[in-house]
Amino acid sequence: MTAPEEEEERRKGIRDFVNARRNTNNTNNKTLCLIVVDVQNDFMLPSGALSVANAEEIIDDVNYLVDIMTAEKDLVIFTQDWHCPKHDSFASEHRGKKPFDVVEIEHDNEENATTTLWPDHCVQNTKGAEFHEKIRVPASAKVIRKGFRKRVDSYSAFVENDKRTETGLGEYIRGVNKGLELSSSSSYSSNNNHNSNGDGTPTRIITDCIVVGVAFDYCVRFTAEDARELFDTVVVLEDLTRAVGLGHSREEARAAMEKKGVRIV
């Protein structure tokens, strides 16, 4: 196959996958959710402060996925790691420590928690924190910034690493669901399981979430795990991710996600 043929083959695969997800139940106007995780210069560029190997390879396919889902008015969310200077997750803030060391860290509600220290990265308002210039971020996309509290890192797009502080994304999605329910309920057939709880409370309309981006073994992993709280189905498209790969982080991420019921395809 020629390169253009291979690209078209990949795109057909992405298109078929999204359409299949859209047709998994009998709603007429099913909306999906896409979360694109941390496609920022410090992770994506080979020269980035916390460069994820071969991350730029995913850009074209991520753009394509964003385009087709935006065209269908799906909910498209981009996360952005957004640290204050001197963030506690930076090794440079810990005397005698170096990047990728694992240290104990004190959160208010947790004893003996450990965290990985990183090179300084994605500092607010720096080039490294910007989205990669080839990534298309539609005007309609929701951008959620995380990790800006000095003391707490945030791998997940939903809840920070203290497992308590919410980023606001969950609330946003619940709000979108309520709005969709109100505006489109008449177009849903009566045998649709997602139409009503029977007690008048709003029910979820967006049942499926697709997660892509970097890094597979950290922010993609924890975002996908937490997304299970909100969505019936959460799928990580592994070809549209890349991993940091510290020790067994890739295998651990895969096992943890599968345990939570995240599908990795």
- Which residue numbers are catalytic? 38, 146, 219
The whole-angstrom separation of Cα 227 and Cα 218 is: 14
In the bound state with Zn ion, the residue whose beta carbon lies nearer, of 206 and 212, is: 212
Residue nearest to Zn ion (CB): 81
> CB of 121: closest distance to Zn ion in angstroms?
6
175 CB-contact burial (10 Å; exposed 0-12 / middle 13-18 / buried 19+): exposed
Give, as ranges, the residues between 133 and 152 that touch Zn ion (CB under 5 A): 147
> CB of 118: closest distance to Zn ion in angstroms?
6
Binding footprint of Zn ion, residue count (CB under 5 A): 2
Q: From the list 56, 74, 81, 226, which residue makes contact with Zn ion (rule: CB under 5 A)? A: 81
Binding mask 26-65 for Zn ion (x = CB under 5 A): ----------------------------------------
User: What are the Cα distances from residue 207, in Å, to 5, 22, 150?
Assistant: 33, 10, 34
> CB of 148: closest distance to Zn ion in angstroms?
10
The whole-angstrom separation of Cα 151 and Cα 115 is: 12
Secondary structure (3-state) at 156: coil
For residues 144 and 79, the answer to whether their CB atoms sit within 8 Å is yes
In the bound state with Zn ion, the residue whose beta carbon lies nearer, of 14 and 55, is: 55
User: What are the Cα distances from residue 131, in Å, to 21, 26, 104, 124?
Assistant: 27, 36, 31, 12
In the bound state with Zn ion, the residue whose beta carbon lies nearer, of 61 and 120, is: 120
In the bound state with Zn ion, the residue whose beta carbon lies nearer, of 17 and 148, is: 148
Residues with Cβ within 8 Å of 183's Cβ and at least 6 positions away in sequence, in order, are none
Q: Which residues bind Zn ion (CB under 5 A)?
A: 81, 147
